[in-house]
Amino acid sequence: MAFDLAFIWAGLIAFSILAYVVLDGFDLGVGILFPFLRTEQDRDTAMNSVAPVWDGNETWLVLGGGGLFAVFPLAYATILPALYAPLIAMLIGLIFRGVSFEFRWRTTRGKFLWDWGFTGGSLLATFAQGITLGALVQGIHVVDRAYAGGWWDWLTPFSIVTGLALVAGYMLLGATWLVMKTEGHLRTNARDIAERAAIVTLLLIGGVSLATPYLNPVYLERWFTGPTAAFSLIVPSLVVVCVWQIFRGLSDGKDALPFLAALGLFVLCYIGIGISFYPYMVPPGITIWDAAAPDESLGFLLVGAAVLLPVILGYTAYAYWVFRGKVDPGGYH
């Protein structure tokens, strides 16, 4: 394993994407859950639980996307044309969701429309992210350092299942977040949703995990031969432990435990993707070092990242600390 500037930047980009998934995942999940919340007061409380942090969470998406463009230009130039449709759908969903987030507080008669806008935007953004992930895992056809596939290569049964899996996973994150942040019948409702979402998420993770090694001979070799074959026992075992902790926390009234265990579930899935991918940035043909910019650029940008990352981590941690604890429908708007 080469420990150089390209490797460091691959780690930073991977961290940014993981931070986005686990942080924005729960507030997208809250949006998807809106139709399952029984009263307007419940929906107000749910939205207030994410109001102080949702836009800060999306900082990590900007950092991951911008970083990919700056330090891995070949990967950016290859992934973008291959995944234009789902990526544009994701951006439309995020924009519509953000607009709905603000507008629903400014109207009474049309509030239900913005509730549906909030749900629709969250669902579209999540499903598109899942399809993007699935399309990347199944591989992108590259010839002479350029995308050589068709417009609809990203749309396959596998990518649709990964899209559904991410929707279920974000619903689990959103429900466990509401268990942690709310009280009364909203918390009880969220706990019931979390139990069902955990089962569906586990089943879909199992399906995607069983199919993934057979998408690429490298994946198959990575998971079932050599020293890395141990991960095929370790990672699934830890996934089961996380799911067990989710149910244990929900049944014992330990409100923070299900959310933390759900985050652990996402981290393990992400590690699983990393085990399959490494050293590829765009499987099956472009490695981290193929895609990297010159060392001079990587070194210059790393200085900026060394300043920027602690600032983002600092204000993110501060926001979560200030708005810790249970919320009420009074809110911040």
Q: Which of 55-59, 77-81, 182-186 has the lowest mean pLDDT?
A: 55-59
What confidence tier does 64 reach under pLDDT thresholds 50, 70, 90?
Answer: confident
Helix (H) or strand (E) holding 280: strand 280-282
Which residues, in sequence order, are CB contacts of 233 under 8 Å at separation 6+? none
pLDDT for res 178: 96
Q: Is the pLDDT of residue 40 over 60?
A: yes
Q: Is the pLDDT of residue 238 over 60?
A: yes
Q: Is the pLDDT of residue 162 over 90?
A: yes
pLDDT for res 2: 67
Q: Is the pLDDT of residue 56 over 90?
A: no
Output the DSSP codes for 37-53: --SHHHHHHHHHHHTTT
Q: Is the pLDDT of residue 163 over 80?
A: yes
Mean pLDDT over 152-173 rounds to 95
Helix (H) or strand (E) holding 325: none
Helix (H) or strand (E) holding 145: none
Instruction: Find out whether 140 and 82 touch, Cβ atoms under 8 Å.
Output: yes
What confidence tier does 211 reach under pLDDT thresholds 50, 70, 90?
Answer: very high
Q: 164: how many CB neighbours lie within 10 A of its CB?
A: 20
Residue with tokens 């609809």: 152
The per-residue pLDDT for range 66-86, each reduced to its tens digit, is 888 889 999 999 999 999 999
Q: Is the pLDDT of residue 331 over 70?
A: no
Q: 252: how many CB neighbours lie within 10 A of its CB?
A: 10
Rg of the chain (C-alpha set): 20
Instruction: Find out whether 134 and 94 touch, Cβ atoms under 8 Å.
Output: no
Instruction: Find out whether 179 and 194 touch, Cβ atoms under 8 Å.
Output: yes
pLDDT for res 325: 86
DSSP 3-state assignment of 121? helix
What confidence tier does 146 reach under pLDDT thresholds 50, 70, 90?
Answer: confident
Burial of 240 (0-12, 13-18, 19+ CB in 10 A): exposed
Q: Is the pLDDT of residue 194 over 90?
A: yes
Q: Is the pLDDT of residue 106 over 70?
A: yes
| End-to-end C-alpha distance for the chain, whole angstroms | 50
Q: Is the pLDDT of residue 1 over 70?
A: no
**The pTM is what?**
0.93
Tokens of 1: 């394993």
pLDDT for res 332: 56
Q: Which of 112-121, 156-165, 229-238, 241-250 has the lowest mean pLDDT?
A: 229-238
The per-residue pLDDT for range 246-298, each reduced to its tens digit, is 999 999 989 999 999 999 999 999 998 888 888 888 888 899 999 999 999 99
pLDDT for res 177: 96
